[in-house]
Chain A
Amino acid sequence: MFRFIVRRLLQMVVAFFGTTLIVYALMFAGQGDPIQALAGERPVTAAQRAYLTEKYHLDATGFGGFFYRYFDYLSNLLRGDLGESLTGRPIGEILANAWPVTIKLALIAIAVAVIFGVTAGVLAGIRRGSIFDNSTLLLTLLVLGIPTIVLAPLAQYLLGVKWQLFPATSGADPSFYALLLPGIVLGSLSLATALRLTRTSVAENLRADYVRTARSKGLPRRRVVTVHVLRNSLIPVITFLGVELGNLMSGAIITEGVFNIPGVGFNLFRAIRTEDGPLVVGIVSVLVVVYLVSNLVVDVLYAVLDPRIRYE
């Protein structure tokens, strides 16, 4: 177990350098005017130009200069110094305000996925081929097939504007109630995937040889299903939900943008809109780290859940 974690940790360090290098290179390398690249089509003031040149060491040139700048960027990132956005606000501060909201939203979404998705998935898996199974399958296919850019505005329009069951947009400091509808919209995709995954997993495990063994021990069917089958089938589901939580945290860009939720995704959404290059780079860098860490956590979780991995 210990060796497993160490190995994964080393892999993550490699992935961290690789990914940040790619992000950085894509942002800055080979661009005619890197400052204009950061600012997009917006005019850049002299003060901004001076700040950005200093911040990103843009005066150093050539291949060596690129790596010099990259490691500079990296050390700033590791120290938590993300610099300022074009509007002059510290990016660290923007993110510090945004995280709690995003985490709340992600937790609501995961809760929706677990409560409805996993439960329905288990039932569908046990009654494979039943009407319940077939209709949930079709329903999840619908949810998965409808892009968020359709689902989110539609839910906002119908439930928020037309029937006014939920607040259509949330304010600066959204309440749980204001986050509920976006949370459900966000969670519906995870719900559908979790449902399908649970169903397949339960159905496959029900046919496993160890189920036959458990039955021949004379255990009641209820125990065979709830202990033996579920413990095995939920391994991929739990790891999926872990990955998904990481995904949801690293930016429910569309949902937060549509519902005006001042989370991380919303800030990224707005940064893209306003062509605030430093803010985009800052947020994306942090999100990549969040993504990598959440992947590591999930891998460790997987190892905890599955002894075959643990003792590999």
Chain B
Amino acid sequence: MPTPTSPPTPASPTPPGEHLLEVRDLHIEFRTGEGVAKVINGVSYHLDPGETLAVLGESGSGKSVTAQAIMGILDTPPAHIRSGQICYQGRDLLELPEEQRRQVRGKEIAMIFQDALSALNPVFPVGWQIGETLRQRLGMSRADARRRAVQLMELVQIPGAASRLDDYPHQFSGGMRQRVMIAMALAMEPKVLIADEPTTALDVTVQAQIMDLLADLRRDLNMALILITHDLGVVADVADRIAVMYAGRIVEHADVRSLYRAPAHPYTKGLLESIPRLDQRGGKLSTIRGLPPNLMRIPSGCPFHPRCPYVQQVCVDVVPHDLVLGDGRTSACHFAQEVHDDRAG
């Protein structure tokens, strides 16, 4: 059942300054004693005010590194940003001196992390940690910061917020800890929130609560949200668009509906086929064969070719460009159209 689309054409770069946040052709490598790992190889994506972008990929695909580069919290060395731009409201963050860069952190772009237990400082009460941002960045008084911290904790629906202000991170449950993290990130009312696998460490029921909370907060506070995850199931209800990453590249970029309906990259297709679906009974769950590539020796041509069921000689020889498939969709596959149209069942 082929979907009518315009013929694929090479993607053309959009002029800067049109989006709230735009990552353009980012290249990052890690230089270690054993060699150079090319972790990010030309990633571009953008985010508009109030929208939710899901960045999807296996661990090691570079999704977290890109996010840390946006925040400017990559450790350099070993990380080295070779080229690219990260434009926020038209300014290239990578060009800014550290002091101005710091002003952006937390205030314009905030981030929450996967494991809230280790991401929160174990020796300070949570109220202190939420309030620290307010005191240090906004010059609030101690008492004001405490009051505001209670409000923030109520905002993220922590029961009995006022009484839990002086509790330490280890005294909270996993879900409550993640809420504390979110409250901390929201302290300065950022315009962009990056959530790096916010629910991975949590129970399934708690996962859903946290995702709902994030979605509600995004809507109520009119933030833009970058949701980093390896779990396709998590993003379906929340995200507007999805960028799929593989070996430090964006291999497919599409709005959620059309990506779920008809993936245009073999990797995305493999991911979709490997999650159980309620609407398709019987049949076998397939998996993607092979392992993610070693980033020190990325395969020639298309990095996915050793695992790809559609592989041809051209995949081994030529690096595929992003092909535009209409509706603003792109896919970095020589056979994007074929994959897109090849829908079994």
A and B touch in the complex (CB under 8 A): yes
Which residues of A are in contact with B by a Cβ distance under 8 Å? 208-210, 212-220, 223, 228, 231-232, 235, 305-308, 311
Known contacts A215-B105, A218-B105, A307 near B118 by CB under 8 Å: no
Which chain A residue shows the least CB distance to B101? A218
- Taken together as a complex, chains A and B put the C-alpha atoms of A235 and B123 apart, in Å, by 10
Q: Return the chain A residue nearest B103 by Cβ.
A: A218
> Nearest-CB distance from A204 to chain B (Å)?
12
Q: A309–B76 Cα gap in the complex (Å)?
A: 34
Residues of B within 8 A of A208 (CB): 118
Is the pair B123, A223 in contact by a Cβ cutoff of 8 Å? no
Pair count A-B, CB < 8 A:
78
Question: In the assembled complex, which residues on chain A have CB atoms less than 8 Å from the CB atom of B110?
Answer: 216-217
- Contact indicator B132/A213 (Cβ below 8 Å): no
CB-CB < 8 A to A210: which residues of B?
A: 118-122
Closest to A235 in B: B123
Q: Is the CB of A311 within 8 A of B170?
A: yes
23 contacts between A and B (CB under 8 A): A208-B118, A209-B115, A209-B118, A210-B119, A212-B113, A213-B119, A213-B120, A213-B184, A215-B71, A216-B105, A216-B106, A216-B110, A216-B111, A217-B184, A218-B188, A219-B133, A219-B137, A305-B123, A306-B123, A308-B168, A308-B170, A311-B170, A311-B171
CB-CB nearest in chain A for B188: A218
Does B102 touch A at the CB level, under 8 Å?
yes
1/0 contact string of B104-128 vs chain A (CB within 8 Å) = 1111001101010011111110000
Question: What's the minimum C-beta distance from B171 to chain A, rounded to whole angstroms?
Answer: 6
- Please list the 7 inter-chain residue pairs (A to B) with the smallest Cβ-Cβ separation, ordered nearest first: A218-B105, A218-B106, A209-B118, A210-B121, A307-B168, A209-B119, A216-B111
B133 x A212 contact (CB < 8 A)? no
Give the docked Cα–Cα distance between A208 and B118 (Å).
Answer: 7
Contact B104 A218 (CB under 8 A): yes
Q: Are B170 and A209 in contact (CB under 8 A)?
A: no
Chain B residue total in the interface (Cβ 8 A): 32
Tell me if B136 counts as interface (CB < 8 A to partner A): yes
**Interface assignment of B275: CB less than 8 Å from any CB of chain A:** no
In the complex, whether B318 has a CB less than 8 A from a CB of chain A is no
Give the contacts of B122-175 with A (CB-CB under 8 A).
122-124, 132-133, 136-137, 168, 170-171
Q: Report the Cα distance A308→B168, complex, angstroms.
A: 8
CA distance A231 to B128 in the complex (A): 14
Residue of B nearest to A312 (CB): B170
Known contacts A210-B120, A232-B122; is A218 also within 8 Å of B137 by CB?
Answer: yes
CA distance A305 to B123 in the complex (A): 8
* Contacting residues, chain A, for B170 (C-beta < 8 A): 307-308, 311
B208 interface residue (CB < 8 Å to A): no
Q: Knowing A209-B118, A218-B133, A223-B136, say if A231 contacts B106 (CB, 8 Å).
A: no
The CA of A237 and the CA of B37, in the complex, are separated in Å by: 36
* Residues of chain A lying within 8 A (CB to CB) of residue B122: 210, 232, 306-308
Interchain CB contact under 8 A, B119 and A217:
no
Inter-chain contact A231/B123, CB cutoff 8 Å: yes
A212, B119: Cα distance in complex, Å: 7
Q: Please measure, in the bound complex, the distance between the C-alpha atom of A223 and the C-alpha atom of B136, giving whole angstroms.
A: 9
Taking a contact as CB atoms closer than 8 A, the residue among A216, A220, A232 that contacts B71 in the complex is A216
Q: Which residues of A contact B137 (CB under 8 A)?
A: 217-219
Taking A209-B115, A216-B110, A218-B137 as known contacts, 18 extra A-B pairs with beta carbons closer than 8 A to each other, sorted by chain A number, are: A210-B118, A210-B120, A212-B68, A212-B119, A213-B181, A217-B105, A217-B106, A217-B137, A217-B184, A217-B187, A218-B103, A218-B105, A218-B106, A219-B133, A231-B123, A306-B123, A307-B168, A311-B168
Distance to closest chain B CB from A274 (angstroms): 50
- Cβ of B73 within 8 Å of any chain A Cβ, yes or no, is yes
| Contact between chains at A215 and B120 (CB < 8 Å) | no
